[in-house]
Amino acid sequence: MNNSKVSIIIPVYNVEKYLRQCLDSVINQTFKDIEIICVNDCSPDNSSQIIKEYQQKDNRINLINLEKNGGLANARNVGIKNAKSKYITFVDSDDWMTSDYIQVLYTNIEKFNCDFTGSEYYLYNDITKKISNGYPYCSVYNSKINDENIKKTSLLKITYGRVWATIYKKDFLTSNDIIFRINKMEDLLFTYEAIIKASSFSFVKNRLYYYRIARKNSNVSTCTIYDRFVFHEQLQKLDNLESFKKYTSECYTYIFDDTAILLEHSKLPFRELSKIFFDFREKVYDKICKTSCKYLNFRNKIRLFVFNFCLKHNLNYLIIGKLHNKFNPIRIFTKR
């Protein structure tokens, strides 16, 4: 019989170099009522053997071996289906946590009885070995958040999605059909859904999680411009849900701003990028009026205004965007 209160889901693929540090931080949590679900996504290295070694030390570790490689999103979804606890948290197998990670998040989500609770975190650069502070998307701590304006602000402040450093009610995820739907940028889409569908959430100011960046061959480093458009299309599909109607402006503001940045910095041929822009215009032209500059900084407001102007008048944004990327007049003007 499983009496755990928190299920820790760890997708595993080709991480033998980092896995021991991750598992050590998990089994040494001060909060002991946990189950640890390691989903082996057909890892070609010795990751599976390492997990079996740790199973001999700790009977809370469950190993699920998938029959074929399905990617990070699928592995996490398998973890959700097999989780038996009231709460779920996701840990990337190349990351690690402070020893009180579960205790702090569990205490907070129980205290406020909200759908999920997140914490602040550290960024660990795998090349330089330096640690820096992560990027917050909510500045309200230790309170129950159900204010619509705070949710809108949070949506526009998400630098990239993060499902780690967060604990969720399992019933909240399953009853709202919140799953990982795509194989790249899956965290961001999941985070958007969670924020919008949550009746309430909360944050703690503690930095409890170490997120490894700049790792060679990581899922983040291989995301292409076309992966991002798959994300955009999925986000637009969610716009059809009633719960998303209040947040349409924020969703499309992100899509438009992100697309403009992608076009400015992409190394693809000019002709191909131009086709991408006009294809984008054809799909979302009627959404122009739904963007909002309310929570954007000055530089992004200017970018969004120019991008919308080009969409409205059927002008190629690449001409302006590439000039901006080369000479960067907005950054000069804003001293950034």
The DSSP line for 267-304 is -S-HHHHHHHHHHHHHHHGGGGGG---TT--HHHHHHH
At 247 the pLDDT is 86
Architecture category of domain 6-221 in CATH: Alpha-Beta Complex (3.90)
What is the DSSP-derived secondary structure letter of residue 123? E
- Residue-wise DSSP of 71-85: HHHHHHHHHHHH--S
Angle at 269 between CA 268 and CA 272, to 5 degrees: 90
Q: Which two tokens stand for residue 173?
A: 């995820």
Query: What tens digit of pLDDT does each residue of 284-314 get?
Result: 777 766 787 776 778 788 888 889 889 888 9
Q: Is 239 helix (H, G, I), strand (E, B) or coil?
A: coil
Give the span between the Cα atoms of 268 and 263, in whole angstroms.
9
If pLDDT is split at 50, 70 and 90, which confidence band does 334 have? very low
CB contact at 8 A, 19 and 47: yes
Give the span between the Cα atoms of 211 and 95, in whole angstroms.
5
CB contact at 8 A, 145 and 155: no
Give the span between the Cα atoms of 276 and 130, in whole angstroms.
37
- In this predicted structure, the answer to whether residue 163 has a pLDDT above a threshold of 70 is yes
If pLDDT is split at 50, 70 and 90, which confidence band does 149 have? confident
* Residues of each domain in the chain carrying CATH 3.90.550.10: 6-221
If pLDDT is split at 50, 70 and 90, which confidence band does 151 have? confident
Give the span between the Cα atoms of 153 and 149, in whole angstroms.
6
